[in-house]
Amino acid sequence: MDDNGQSELGGISMLRTRMLRSMHFASTIWFIVCVGYILILALRQAGFHWWVIFSLSGHSALIVLLMVSLYLFAIFRGVSRTQTIELEHPLTSTKYYVAFYVTAPFWGGVAGCIGMLGVDTAVQFLTGVVLGTLTTTFLAWVVVDPVTSLLETVLVPESRAHRAQRLALAKAERERRQKQRECLLAQIVAEEEAEKQHWQEALKPQAERLAGLLAVDETQFKKAEREAVGIGLEAWQLGGLSCMRQLCAMAAAISRQRYREESVSEYISVWWDGIGTWRTPSLT
């Protein structure tokens, strides 16, 4: 097919989409009107005055919103079907079926008009039209469409084959993504372990110095603190907070082994407070 033919088909498809959207909008308005009419009629028949009905409009709006949400979901499901699983639903994905699906409220209104011919009062006539709309819409969306879709999938061999293939491809894609995530996670863990091993060798002299600073007496404590801050700053520049934590743990282990000190890490935390993102843990 040449470029002109493809452009023409694309224009027809866009025109069809716009028509479906217009019918969608009109059906939505009609559906909302019917729901509102039923609510108001029910309240009036229950003996409520108009001012009470208007005061309850906020609560009624929640019911209308729920029904309209159901309506929009049904329309979206019907229209989007043509874009995803046409081979699985050769009937319900056709433009004629989709048009009927979208305009089901209007056909229900027409059926209600025909059924109410000869009725004396306008209230009865409108009630029949509204009930015809809601009944037809319910039957089309909740009964006919699911049953038809199920029959297509069960009875048409091509539909079953395409559905099985689609599900198999989706499963394979999920497994591929899962394996990709697992490989990425394993790579990150391996890189972290390699980095820790590198730090273990690079930080050993600083850990020895830091452990020695923890054993100084009070006269050299200020000097030891300044030197410890410098060591912490070097660790931050080398590998950030993770590097500082590893250095602190190494120095604490050396200090416990040599000097039998158990709370040396608290001194290091106080010395390093404010270096990069290092913060002293709260004592409270």
CA separation for the pair 216, 107 (Å, rounded): 92
Q: What is the DSSP letter of 140?
A: I
Whether the predicted pLDDT of 177 surpasses 50: yes
Say if 130 falls within a structural domain. yes
Q: What is the DSSP letter of 41?
A: H
* pLDDT, position 175: 92
CA separation for the pair 245, 4 (Å, rounded): 67
Q: State which of 18-22, 30-34, 110-114 shows the largest mean pLDDT.
A: 110-114
3-state secondary structure of 279: coil
For 155-194, b where at least 16 C-beta lie within 10 A, e where not — what string? ebeebeebbeeeeeeeeeeeeeeeeeeeeeeeeeeeeeee
Distance of CA 284 to the CA centre of its chain: 39
User: 28: which 2 tokens?
Assistant: 């939505």
Q: Are residues 93 and 231 in the same domain?
A: no
* pLDDT, position 122: 83
Phi and psi at residue 13, to the nearest 5°: -65, -40
Q: Are residues 115 and 208 in the same domain?
A: no
CA separation for the pair 122, 100 (Å, rounded): 28
What tens digit of pLDDT does each residue of 77-110 get? 544 554 456 677 777 778 788 888 888 888 988 9
Max Cα-Cα span within the chain: 110
What tens digit of pLDDT does each residue of 128-164 get? 888 888 888 888 878 888 888 888 878 877 777 877 8
Half-sphere exposure at residue 179, Cβ-oriented, CA atoms within 13 angstroms: 6
Say if 242 falls within a structural domain. yes
CA separation for the pair 137, 181 (Å, rounded): 45
Whether residue 14 contacts residue 38, with contact meaning beta carbons closer than 8 Å, is answered with no
Whether residue 113 contacts residue 133, with contact meaning beta carbons closer than 8 Å, is answered with no
Amino acid identity, position 201: E
CA separation for the pair 15, 159 (Å, rounded): 28
Phi and psi at residue 90, to the nearest 5°: -65, -25
CA separation for the pair 261, 214 (Å, rounded): 9
Say if 143 falls within a structural domain. yes
Q: Are residues 228 and 126 in the same domain?
A: no
Q: Return the CA Rg of the chain.
A: 37
CA separation for the pair 132, 88 (Å, rounded): 31
Whether the predicted pLDDT of 1 surpasses 70: no
Whether the predicted pLDDT of 283 surpasses 70: no
- Mean pLDDT in residue range 250-254: 86
Whether the predicted pLDDT of 176 surpasses 90: yes
* pLDDT, position 56: 45
Q: Are residues 116 and 239 in the same domain?
A: no
Number of domains in the chain: 2
Whether the predicted pLDDT of 178 surpasses 70: yes
- Mean pLDDT in residue range 233-258: 86
Say if 193 falls within a structural domain. no
Whether the predicted pLDDT of 193 surpasses 80: yes
Q: Are residues 148 and 70 in the same domain?
A: yes
Residue-range definition of the domain harbouring residue 130: 3-155
Nearest to 83 by CA among 146, 16, 3: 16
Q: Are residues 116 and 46 in the same domain?
A: yes
Q: How confident is the model at residue 180 (pLDDT cuts 50, 70, 90)?
A: very high
Q: Are residues 101 and 212 in the same domain?
A: no
pTM strictly above 0.75: no
Distance of CA 110 to the CA centre of its chain: 40
Q: Are residues 137 and 259 in the same domain?
A: no
What tens digit of pLDDT does each residue of 237-247 get? 888 888 888 88
